[in-house]
Amino acid sequence: MTRFAGFTRLMSAAVLAGAVSGLGAIGFHYVADNLGEALYRATSTGDWLHRVPIVILVPTFGLMLVGVVLQLVPRSRIGGVREVVDSIQHDGGVVPIVRLLNVALSALTLGFGGSVGPEGPMVQLGAYIGSWVGRRFRLPRGGLQAIVRAGTAAGVAAAFRSPAGGVLLTLEVFGARFNRDLAAIGIAAAVGYLTRTVLLGDAYPFRPQVPIDPLPLPTLLVIVPIMGLVAAPTGHLFIRMFERFKTVFPAHWPLAARVAVGGFLVGCIGIWFPQVLSAGYPVIDHIIRDGMTVRLFVILLFLKMLATSTTFGSGAVGGLFAPTLLIGALYGGAFGYGVHSLSPSLAPQPELFVLLGMVVMFGSIVKGYWSGLLMVADLSGCYHQLLLPGVIAGGISYFASWEILDRSIFGMSIDPAASAAREPVTVATGGA
């Protein structure tokens, strides 16, 4: 195979992987969003007596059904960012088809109200699509690893509507390098993003209603660095809570029972604070547009941490990016509206701090500095307003979080049963 032919094959595989990943993101959101809307529709119109049973029973029995499948098919528990990294590093880029079951169960967990997100499953789906396309194109081992990263970037780009964020995340988390493979990753991310936005037209979901002005100089020099510094221990609190809840549920309980109890507990929180249910994107949109009291910001911040830790600690599956963004938005809202109440001139538009909170918390929890900044900018369209404060606060949060703990949340131990379920995968460069 000539070098040009090899390059052409890699680029063709990247285009196909990007397009299919974009379609996969649409299908995932269609299932998760429509299921959740159908199940919880009555809670928006019914009275309190009608709402409470739904908010309790749907996550309890819904997640119990998810737990039954997870218990019957142990390998379905394997899926997410850490497993994609393992597939690239140890399996030569071969992602087994059983990972799609994890994606489907994640969509159900999200639809039933579990405090998870869609982006982790989109990473897994994009990686599988990249692996499948790469093997169909009979790419060599290095090319297969590159196209898996390309599929991953396309999945992130389609889920976040952020092609640049998808590319940067493969550099920061998935081991991509600045070489010619980055062209394939970039093409796949762009195609995945275009597929999602052309068909659904939902770019900039977090765009503020009013134009955002740049922050004043004293805020950039004093308030923004403090915000980044405080974000590091706040993110560390969530990481520790997340890790601790892996051992809260008795290990001798059947997995289905653990997941059902987790769903019940999350439902109990959701009776009074339904904002903690599911991914929370409508909540982010609401607080950007309308704001909240500082007290409610703080309450929801810790309850979202608790609900997410409970959902994952019980053994349910799903993504962590969306909960991280909501935690960041709540942190930023508490900080920005708190400063605004003390000195309006330092935070004249506190909704900008909601966006900035997502940046700093992504850097603190996921250890994704530049990718978090670009993703939030792409989601909101506030590029020049976020760039300078995001570089300052995000950099401080990122650096300080590494000093506190030299691992991201994806470096935490996962379910031991899931680890035991992982089997070696035979590397192949062609065929199914």
Do 261 and 358 lie in a common domain? yes
In a domain, 17, yes or no: yes
> Which two tokens mark 251?
């290990």
Do 63 and 198 lie in a common domain? yes
Q: Do residues 81 and 244 make contact, with C-beta atoms less than 8 angstroms apart? A: no
Do 188 and 86 lie in a common domain? yes
In a domain, 98, yes or no: yes
Range of the domain at 292: 217-412
Do 325 and 190 lie in a common domain? no
Supply angle C-alpha 156, 161, 41, rounded to 5.
95
Q: Do residues 76 and 101 make contact, with C-beta atoms less than 8 angstroms apart? A: yes
In a domain, 262, yes or no: yes
Model confidence band, residue 328 (pLDDT cutoffs 50, 70, 90): very high
Q: Please, is 389 exposed, middle or buried when counting C-beta atoms within 10 Å of its C-beta (0-12, 13-18, 19+)?
A: buried
pLDDT for the residue 415? 39
In the chain, what is the straight-line distance between the N-terminal and C-terminal CA atoms, in Å? 21
The pLDDT tens digits of the residues spanning 362-375 come to 999 998 888 899 99
Q: What SS3 state is found at 117?
A: strand
In a domain, 331, yes or no: yes
pLDDT for the residue 29? 85
Q: Do residues 184 and 139 make contact, with C-beta atoms less than 8 angstroms apart? A: no
Instruction: Label residue 262 left, alpha or beta by phi (over 0 means left) and psi (-120 to 50 means alpha).
Output: alpha
**Section 223-236 average pLDDT:** 97
Per-residue pLDDT for 277 more than 70?
yes
In a domain, 387, yes or no: yes
DSSP string covering 242-253: HHHTTTTS-TTS
Q: Which helix (H) or strand (E) holds 233?
A: helix 224-244
Number of H helices, E strands in the chain: 18, 0
Tell me how far apart the alpha carbons of residues 86 and 63 are, in angstroms, rounded to a whole number. Answer: 27
- Looking at 203, 229, 254, the residue that finishes a domain is 203
E-only strand ranges, 76-161: none
Do 231 and 370 lie in a common domain? yes
Q: Do residues 75 and 29 make contact, with C-beta atoms less than 8 angstroms apart? A: no
- Looking at 156, 173, 203, the residue that finishes a domain is 203
Residue 233 vs residues 239, 413, 419: alpha-carbon distances, Å: 10, 20, 29
Query: CATH number of the domain that 37 lies in?
Result: 1.10.3080.10
In a domain, 287, yes or no: yes
Do 189 and 268 lie in a common domain? no
Do 167 and 264 lie in a common domain? no
Tell me how far apart the alpha carbons of residues 251 and 246 are, in angstroms, rounded to a whole number. Answer: 9
96-110, 190-204, 332-346, 357-371: the lowest-pLDDT one? 190-204
pLDDT for the residue 69? 96
**Rounded to two decimals, what is the model's pTM?**
0.90
Do 181 and 264 lie in a common domain? no
**Section 24-53 average pLDDT:** 80
Do 195 and 222 lie in a common domain? no
Per-residue pLDDT for 53 more than 90?
no
> Which two tokens mark 193?
């993003």
Do 9 and 146 lie in a common domain? yes
pLDDT for the residue 248? 92
Give me the number of domains the chain comprises.
2
In a domain, 180, yes or no: yes
Closest CA to 429 of 108, 138, 176, 154: 138
Do 187 and 265 lie in a common domain? no
Exposure class string for 166-179: b at 16+ Cβ within 10 A, else e: bbbbbbbbbebeee
Residue 272 vs residues 52, 69, 238, 266, 299: alpha-carbon distances, Å: 9, 30, 21, 11, 11
One-letter amino acid of 66:
V
Do 11 and 72 lie in a common domain? yes
413 φ, ψ (degrees, to nearest 5): -65, 140
pLDDT for the residue 47? 64
> Which two tokens mark 258?
């653990």
Model confidence band, residue 220 (pLDDT cutoffs 50, 70, 90): very high
In a domain, 210, yes or no: no
Supply angle C-alpha 100, 129, 378, rounded to 5.
100
- Give 319's strand partners: 117
